[in-house]
Amino acid sequence: MKWFIIGLFIGITSLIPGISGGTILYLSGEYNNFTFYLKNIRKYYFLLIKLILGAVIGLFSFAKILELAFSYYPLITKLFLAYLVLFSLPSFLKKTNLKVNPFLFFLGIIVIFILNYLVPTIPFVVSDIKITFPFLIFFTLAGFLDGFITIIPGISGSMIMMILGPYYLYKSLCANVFQQPLYLIALLGYFIGDFIGIYWGAKFTDKIVNKHPQSSNSLIFGFITGSLLVIIPFSEVITIPGFIALVSAYILITLTTLNA
C-alpha cells in the first residue's frame, strides 16, 4: 500500500512545476530502495507495478482537479502543495543525517532560481494538435527528458518542460485524454519515454549519491529549498487561504505514510 500511495503523490506532482517525483521518493525515505528495485526489476517488478499504478491513477484522477484548482483557487493550491514538501523536510534531514555543505546548498538554490527565471511568462500553447509520426517521436523524447530529470530529487521535470515548451501541451492532453482517442496514443509515447528516462535517471543519480552521499544530499537539499522559495508566494502566507493550506497540508502529511 505504501508504494501505491507514493506513486499517487508522484503522479500528482508530475503536473506541478517546482515539485519532482524524485523529491517525493527522497522525502519518503524510499529513494535508495527505488533505485535498488530498478536494478533488480525482475525480482521486484510487483512493487514497481504498484508504484506505476498509483502514479497513473494520481495523474489522470487529479489532472482535471488540479486544472480546476489552479483556475479557481490558485493560492491555496500552490501553498498546499508547497507545504506538503516543507513538512517533509524534517524527515529528510533526520534520515540522511545531513551535514550541510554551504557551497553546494546555495549552489542548489541558485540553480533552481536560474531555471525558474528561464520559464516563459507566456505559456507555450498548441491550438491545433495534429498527432503525426514526427510529433510522436518529439513527444516521446520529451517524455524521456522529463523522466530523466524528474527522478533527480529537487529538480522538477515539469519546470524544465515549461522552459522547453511541451509542459502545457502535456498537461492539456492529460486533462482531456478521453475527448480524443489520438491523445491517448500521444500520451502513451510520452509515458514510454518517461519510464525509460526515469530508469536511466535513477541509475545516474544513484551512482553519484552512493559515491558522494553528503555532497549529493547537500545539493539536493539546496534544490528542494530553492523550489520552495520559488513556488511559495510569501506575501500570502499569513492570509486566511494561506492558513487553510498550512493546516490542510500538515494534517495530510501526519495521516499518510509519506513522512513515515
- Please give the model's pTM, rounded to 2 decimal places: 0.65
Q: How high is the pLDDT of residue 17?
A: 62
Going residue by residue through the chain (260 aa), what tens digit of pLDDT does each one get? 778 878 887 777 666 666 667 777 777 777 778 888 877 777 878 888 888 888 888 777 776 777 777 777 777 877 887 787 777 777 667 766 777 888 999 998 998 888 777 765 544 444 456 677 887 888 888 889 888 887 877 676 776 776 666 776 777 777 666 777 777 888 888 889 988 988 888 888 878 877 887 888 888 888 888 878 877 777 777 888 788 888 887 776 676 544 44
Asked if 177 contacts 50 with a C-beta cutoff of 8 angstroms, the reply is: no
Asked if 156 contacts 201 with a C-beta cutoff of 8 angstroms, the reply is: no
Q: How high is the pLDDT of residue 106?
A: 93
Least Cα distance to 56 among 3, 12, 18 occurs for 12
Q: Is the C-alpha dihedral spanning 85, 106, 165, 186 positive or negative?
A: negative
CA distance 253 to 249: 6
Asked if 13 contacts 78 with a C-beta cutoff of 8 angstroms, the reply is: no
Q: How high is the pLDDT of residue 129?
A: 62
Asked if 48 contacts 37 with a C-beta cutoff of 8 angstroms, the reply is: yes
Integer CA distances (angstroms), 212 to 110, 205, 207, in order: 20, 11, 9
Find the domain containing 91 and state its range: 2-259
Structural domains counted in the chain = 1
**Residue 167, SS3 per DSSP:** helix
